[in-house]
Chains A and B, each alone.
Chain A
Amino acid sequence: MAEYLVEFAETCVAVRYQPGRVSDFLELLFADLRARAALPVVEVLDISDPDPEGRYTIANAGGAPVFHGPLGIECAAVLYDQVISHLLWEKNHGVALHAAAVARQGGAILLPGKSGSGKSSVAAWLTAGGFSYLTDELIFLPDDGSGRAIPFPRPLCLKAGTAELITAMLPEPAQDQVLRDELGAVVPHRLLNPAFTPASPAPYLLLFPTYRHGASFHAEPISGARAAAMLMACDVNARNLPDHGFRQLTALARSIPAWHMTYGGFAGLDAVLPLLGQD
């Protein structure tokens, strides 16, 4: 068995597998998170050989299966859920936030939101527009006073409707590098913006997206108290922290401006750029 080590914020999960198709699959999902140094492993996941129908089984360290099926979008989603859950299981030196993020001129724009809020789509659109990609899913804010936002730089994971819009932006040769099926697509972020340097910049703006089908673009500033309440709803590792991360997140909301935007598609989204400091 080979072992693929996934690292995030100094914590590591191992995925064991038989080299072959799974190697490419793991490299697509975790290339920017692959551990480069030895770190303590908090969990081991096993991916089986395929059965005659080409279905793989993912099992946790106890041997319990958590997925059985082909190497498609559902498999990717389960693997991300498992890996992230174990990476954060005991993380208690900062707040993990359900947020996408992009960077501009050395500062991070955080896009906090629950699943379905449209944060991945906005992150994809901004990345294609020249912003530096950080993540579409998860940010860790260590409580070390550094102010850094450590991203989980996975590829963009897009649901079916958005996936079509985003992949339509890609040149034909790049289409082969996208994993897609009827559920959506996993799009390597370098296809949207090849300039990528791993970074953990300090946030300078909070932008809470809400996707609503057919809605026109609208954005409004929101107060620090409202932003803090909204951030608490995106706190992933609250149970590990004595105050559930409340003081840290209210301090963040107090320190940088926050906006809420509603959008119904990419048309008109240009209007968000001045808020981000870009004309």
Chain B
Amino acid sequence: MDTTKRVVPAPGYLLERIDQEVVVYHPTRTTSLYLNETGALIWEMCDGARTTADIIGILTELYPESRQEIGAQVEAMIMRLEENKIVELQA
């Protein structure tokens, strides 16, 4: 995965927060996606300006004890968001 690309929210999906979690629905694809608290946190950082590497950096500062896992978790989540057309990766 190219972690230097910006993670840009894609248009056309519906989203609701319930407690600390998120549910996303894509009417065109008729798919829904559940994001737990960690997933919701990563999604919130996908603001169109940050890259995947930026997001990994922020979370590593916030949770240094989880440094080993954060990179893989963030990449996996962003790939999942991209597959579901919730975000786009742009150079």
Binding site for B on A (CB under 8 A): 223-226, 228-230, 232-233, 238, 243-244, 246-247, 250, 253-254
Q: From A230, A233, A243, give the contact of B27 (CB < 8 A).
A: A243
Q: Known: A233-B32, A243-B14. Contact between A225 and B19, CB under 8 A? A: yes
Q: Are A253 and B18 in contact (CB under 8 A)?
A: yes
A232 to B14 Cα, complex, angstroms: 12
Main secondary structure of the interface of B (DSSP, over half): strand
Instruction: Write the nearest CB–CB distance from A87 to chain B, whole angstroms.
Output: 21
A244 to B29 Cα, complex, angstroms: 11
Q: Which residues of B contact A233 (CB under 8 A)?
A: 32
Q: Kindly report which residue of chain A lies nearest to residue B33, judged by CB atoms.
A: A229
A-B contacts counted at CB < 8 A amount to: 57
Q: Known: A243-B27, A244-B25. Contact between A228 and B14, CB under 8 A? A: no
18 contacts between A and B (CB under 8 A): A223-B18, A223-B19, A224-B19, A225-B18, A225-B21, A225-B35, A226-B36, A228-B16, A228-B18, A229-B23, A229-B25, A229-B33, A229-B34, A238-B30, A244-B14, A253-B18, A253-B23, A254-B18
Q: Which residues of B contact A232 (CB under 8 A)?
A: 23, 25, 32
Instruction: Write the nearest CB–CB distance from B33 to chain A, whole angstroms.
Output: 7
Q: Which residues of B contact A229 (CB under 8 A)?
A: 23, 25, 32-34
- Is B46 on the interface with A (CB-CB < 8 A)? no
Number of B residues near A (Cβ < 8 Å) is 16
Q: Are B27 and A225 in contact (CB under 8 A)?
A: no
Q: From B14, B30, B34, give the contact of A225 (CB < 8 A).
A: B34
Q: Which residues of A contact B32 (CB under 8 A)?
A: 228-229, 232-233
Q: Mark B1-42, 1 if CB is under 8 A from A, else 0.
A: 000000000000010111101110101001011111000000
Q: Which residues of A contact B23 (CB under 8 A)?
A: 225-226, 228-229, 232, 250, 253
Q: Which residues of A contact B22 (CB under 8 A)?
A: 225
Q: Kindly report which residue of chain B lies nearest to residue A231, judged by CB atoms.
A: B32
Q: From A223, A230, A244, A247, give the contact of B16 (CB < 8 A).
A: A247
Q: Are A246 and B21 in contact (CB under 8 A)?
A: no
Q: Kindly report which residue of chain B lies nearest to residue A226, judged by CB atoms.
A: B34
